[in-house]
Amino acid sequence: MRQENRSGLDRREFLAVTGAAAASTLLAGSAHAWPAKRQPPQQLEPRRPRRAKVALVFAHIPSGSPTWPTKDYDYDARRKELTEKLEAACPGTDFTVATAHNGGEAVGVIRDNPDVDGFMVYLIGIWTGVPARIMRSGKPTVVVDDLYAGSGEILALPRAIREKNLRAALIGSSDFDDVVRGVKWLEVIAAMKGAKIINVKDRDISEQTKTLRDVLGIEMVQMKSDELRRRYEAADEALANEWADYWIKAAASINKKETSREEVVKGGKIHVAFCKAFEEMEADTVTMDCLGMFYGNKINAYPCLSFFELLNQGLTGVCESDVDSTATFLLMRYLTGRPGFVSDPVIDTSTGEIIYAHCVGTNRVFGPKGKANKYVIRSHAEDEKGAAVQSLMPRNEPITSLKVHLGSRHLVVHTGTTTRNVDEPKACRTKLAAKAEVEQLLRNWTYGWHRVTVFGKWREDVLNLAQLLGLTAVEEDKPMA
């Protein structure tokens, strides 16, 4: 009987990666969950996101007029019902509830709510002029049609949103979960305002810091290589060894031709250093000029295993001091609760696949409490030094790949379905292939090489978030005008 290898490698490829003895054992047990849940030496917790403040504005004309939904509609009862449902479904949001019957009253609502993260305008009636006025406030605004109540008014809004590039998103759905999603978009925006990134880099980051704050509200602080080196040297050796044991025992194998336990311990030391820095600097996200510092002999350990662990536990670690990608990770983490996979993509039009390649990748693509996949500890690919991870990610799963380009205020996005894990000696260790509209991607690619891939179908959420954030969205897998 042919045994299925759920990693997406065929038997020959899997043997090449893991070694014959280890692979035989793994393939024989492939029907079981991987691996058995072990307790890490340190249990990290992401910082609690900043709570969202949302002005919930119910728009309708006074009862008694012959219009939608009906002449003598009980607006008060409907407002009470919807408010209670939203408060129950959105415990991470503080709502301020208001009613506006016309554009003039909407101006008063805007004036009375200067500090909210955004507005949700609920059209429980029609022809009020309220959403059109609130959308022009400059605050992110989600407009909801309570079906058969505000339907004509919501359909009058898209042209203004397009032509004036207003920070507004529209919801017309009989599924209340879609309204909750709209609140979630505002929660993501609020959470980013409370986020802080540690950027480990020697060059000046002041301009990047300002742009990041201006575009998304995220704060960034700098750590230079000499500080990281001091923290690394002071890191607890015993704890670093515990991390090495934990990672090695949880791995499918360690490729001892490429790396060693000593290199894994170095990864443990830099992880201990980052955990201490998070505590002291009140952050849970780091990006690092890893290649520049390692190649420049400023550090002697790659952060690949540390970033792998941070992602697995719901925090964020991103390679190459890539602030655009780090911001994208945070946006998607707050939206989905899942980690991203940053990569250098490769296009193969002959197979219709895009291959996402990098030496850091989570093995919990569905989030910290989701099912884990196999991984192999190997060297960092380009220089064949240090210790890194090859994560054998799930096949036949929808994925969303994107990046926020802060400098131009653009967001690019495409989607696909994972097909296999590619075993190829060239380039980075983890190589996840996905079917996508690769001909379009090859024509349309822009805004740098990196993309951030998150498992799941998130295109519509991403497009709406882009609009609410004032970003120009580019669907790079569709024909360009």
pLDDT at 164: 96
Token pair 């959105």 is at which residue? 90
CATH domain 52-192 topology? Rossmann fold (3.40.50)
Q: Where are the alpha helices (DSSP H) in 282-384?
A: 290-295, 304-312, 323-336
198/192 Cα distance (integer angstroms):
14
Beta-strand (E) ranges in 24-129?
A: 52-59, 93-100, 118-123
CA nearest neighbour of 404 among 321, 285, 344, 324: 324
Give me the tens of pLDDT residue by residue for the chain, a chain 481 residues long.
333 344 445 444 454 455 443 443 343 333 234 444 678 998 889 999 999 999 999 999 999 999 999 999 999 999 999 999 999 999 999 999 999 999 999 999 999 999 999 999 999 999 999 999 999 999 999 999 999 999 999 999 999 999 999 999 999 999 999 999 999 999 999 999 999 999 999 999 999 999 999 999 999 999 999 999 999 999 999 999 999 999 999 999 999 999 999 999 999 999 999 999 999 999 999 999 999 999 999 999 999 999 999 999 999 999 999 999 999 999 999 999 999 999 999 999 999 999 999 999 999 999 999 999 999 999 999 999 999 999 999 999 999 999 999 999 999 999 999 999 999 999 999 999 999 999 999 999 999 999 999 999 999 999 999 999 999 999 999 999 7
Q: Which residues, including other chains, have CB under 8 Å from residue 192's CB and lie 6 or more apart?
A: 216, 217, 218, 327, 330, 331, 334
**CA 218 to centroid of chain Cα atoms:** 14
pTM for this prediction = 0.93
Listed by start position, the domains of the chain span 11-47+194-475, 52-192
Token pair 């020697």 is at which residue? 202
φ/ψ (deg, to 5) at 373: -115, 165
